[in-house]
Amino acid sequence: MSGPHGRLRLAVLAGFLGAGKSTWLRHALHQGGFGGALVLVNEAASASVDDVLLGRATGLEVLDGGCACCAGRGALVASLRRICDRRLRGAPIARLVLETSGLADPAAITQAIAEDPVLQHHILVEETIVIVDALHGLAQLREEPLSRRQIAAADRIVVSKLDGAGRPAVARLVATLCATNPAARLAGSIMGSEVPLPESPGVAPEVWVDEARSSEAGAPASPGEPRPPPIAEALDPGGPDSWPALSLWLSALIHARGDDIVRIKGVVRTPRGPLLLQSVRKVVQAPEILPEGPQTEQARLVVIGRGFTRAQLLRSLQRFAGG
Amino acid sequence: MCANCGFPLAQEHWTDAGARSGFERLRGRLLRAQLLAPVLAAYGLGVYDDGTGPSFTLSTRTGSHVLVGDLGELWTQAERLAGRAIDPLDQRFAADEGQPG
C-alpha cells in the first residue's frame, strides 16, 4: 500500500535490547501483517543473527555495523535511498518495516528521514511500534533514559512476554506506559500472538526524575522532584482557513517547548485537503495529504506533553491567530 | 539559488504544505507575516514579507535586518535578535483575560 502521493510507508519497530522485537515481527509477518513488506533489520553489533529468524518476509536486508540512529545513520539513509530508487524503477515494494537495534531512538530515525532532502519526499513514517518486555520493562524505564525515549515516540506499544511476569507487575508497567505516552495504543503479546492486557484501574504509575533535565539545569537529580506525567490535549484545528495561523503557532510552540512536547499528531484541514501532521519532540515529519474519507472528516489535533495546561494552549493559539 | 538574496533553493518547510497553488502558498505567507507582526512587535522586532524573497525579513529597531528561510529558522533568529526566548505559552500570550500580562 503506497500513499496517495506515492510515498513509501515505513513502520519503525523499536524496543529495548531483548524486548522481543524479532519474535513479534516474525509472528506479524506469518499472520500476513505488513503484506508485501520489505524488512530492513538493523543490528548494533556487526554480526547479525536476526535475519536467520525472519525468513518469511517478502524481502529482507540487513544493515549491520552500527545503530541506525547514530553511528549507522549514514548507512540507513543510503540504504533507504537505494530502496526508494529500486521502487521507482518498478520493484514491487509495497511497504517497509525497519526493525531497529535495541539501542536505537526511533525519534532519531524519524528525524533522519524528515531531514534528508531525498527521503522526505519518498518515505512516510506510518507507525512507530515499540515492544516492551513485561518482566524487565519497568526496570529499563526506570534506569535507561533511552527506554523512556522509545516509549515516548511510540504510536503503538506492545507489552511482550506477558506470561513471564506477574499480574501486579504488569499492571504497574501498563499504568506507567499510559502515563508516559497517553496517546499510544497498548496491546499485549505472548510469543508474538496478541493477548489482552490485564485491566489496571487505580494502579499508580511509577514516576522518576529525568536525569537529562536535572543535569542540564546544573542541579543534581533529587528524588523529591519527579517530573509531572505528560498530558494529552485534543484541540480543534479549525477549517482550511485556519491552517496558516495554526502552523505558525505550532512552529513557535515546537521551537520553544519542543523538549516538553512528546508528540503532536493529528489531521488538520488545508485548502488541498486533510493533512496528516505528526511530530516527535522538535522534529516534524513532512506532512501528507490524505484522501477524503470518513476517517479524515473529523479534523483533530492532539498535543502530548508536560509543563502546560489546556487553557494555556487554547489562549495562546487564539492570540497567535489574531484573536 | 535565489539570485537576489543568495539563499539556496529552499526545501519545503512543513508549514508550507497544504497549498493547492502558488497563489495559495503566497497568500499563506502574507497572512503569516500579518499574524506575526503583533507577536514580534512585542519583542521589538519587525517582520516583512512581500512575497518576492525566500521568506520573511526580520528587523530590529536599530536597523539590523535578517533574512530567514522558513518558519523553523524564524524563531531561532527572532530570539537571537530579541536577546530573549520567545515562548508562545508565557504570560504574554497564554495569560488569563483577567490577569495582567
Cβ neighbours for B80, distance < 8 A, ≥ 6 positions apart: none
For residues B41 and A63, which has the higher predicted lDDT (pLDDT)? B41
Cβ neighbours for B64, distance < 8 A, ≥ 6 positions apart: B81
For residue range A229-245, list pLDDT tens digits in order.
677 788 888 888 899 99
For residue range A188-227, list pLDDT tens digits in order.
998 888 888 887 777 888 876 554 444 444 444 444 455 6
Q: Which residues of A95-119 are buried (b: 16+ CB within 10 A; e: fewer)?
A: bbbbbbbbbbbbbbbbbbbbebeeb
Cβ neighbours for A320, distance < 8 A, ≥ 6 positions apart: A245, A248, A249, A252, B35, B39, B88, B93
Residue B88's pLDDT is 93
Question: What is A138-187 written as a DSSP string?
Answer: HHHHHH-HHHHHHHHT-SEEEEE-GGGS-HHHHHHHHHHHHHH-TTSEEE
CA pair distance B101, B92, nearest whole angstrom: 5
Grid coordinates of A210: 529525568
Residue B5's pLDDT is 64
Quickly state the pLDDT bin for A130 (edges 50, 70, 90): very high
Q: What is the ipTM of this complex?
A: 0.89
CB A278 within 8 A of CB A155: no
Taken in order of first residue, the domains within chain A and their CATH numbers are: 8-216 (3.40.50.300), 231-320 (3.30.1220.10)
Kindly state whether A249 is in contact with chain B, defined as any CB-CB distance less than 8 angstroms.
Answer: yes
Overall pTM surpassing 0.80 (yes/no)? no
Q: Is the pLDDT of residue B89 over 60?
A: yes
For residues A17 and A223, which has the higher predicted lDDT (pLDDT)? A17
CA distance A263 to chain B (A): 16
Q: Once rounded to an integer, what is the mean pLDDT over residues B62-80?
A: 91
For residue range A161-182, list pLDDT tens digits in order.
888 888 888 999 999 898 888 8
In sequence order, which ranges of chain A are alpha helices (DSSP H)?
21-30, 50-53, 73-88, 106-115, 119-122, 137-143, 145-152, 167-180, 211-216, 243-257, 294-297, 310-320
Quickly state the pLDDT bin for A246 (edges 50, 70, 90): very high
CA pair distance A146, A19, nearest whole angstrom: 13
Q: Once rounded to an integer, what is the mean pLDDT over residues A286-312?
A: 81
The most confident of A85-94, A213-222, A241-250, A286-295, by mean pLDDT: A241-250
Note whether B18 contacts A289, CB cutoff 8 Å. yes
CA pair distance A66, A71, nearest whole angstrom: 5
SS3 sequence of chain B: CCCCCCCCCCCCCHHHCCCCCHHHHHHHHHHHHHHHHHHHHCCCEEEECCCCCCCCEEEECCCCEEECCCHHHHHHHHHHHHCCCCCCCCHHHHCCCCCCC
Q: List CB contacts (< 8 A) between A312 and chain B.
A: 89, 94
Note whether B75 contacts A248, CB cutoff 8 Å. no
Q: List CB contacts (< 8 A) between B89 and chain A.
A: 253, 256-257, 307-308, 312-313, 316
Q: Out of A270, A316, A322, whose CB is closest to B89?
A: A316
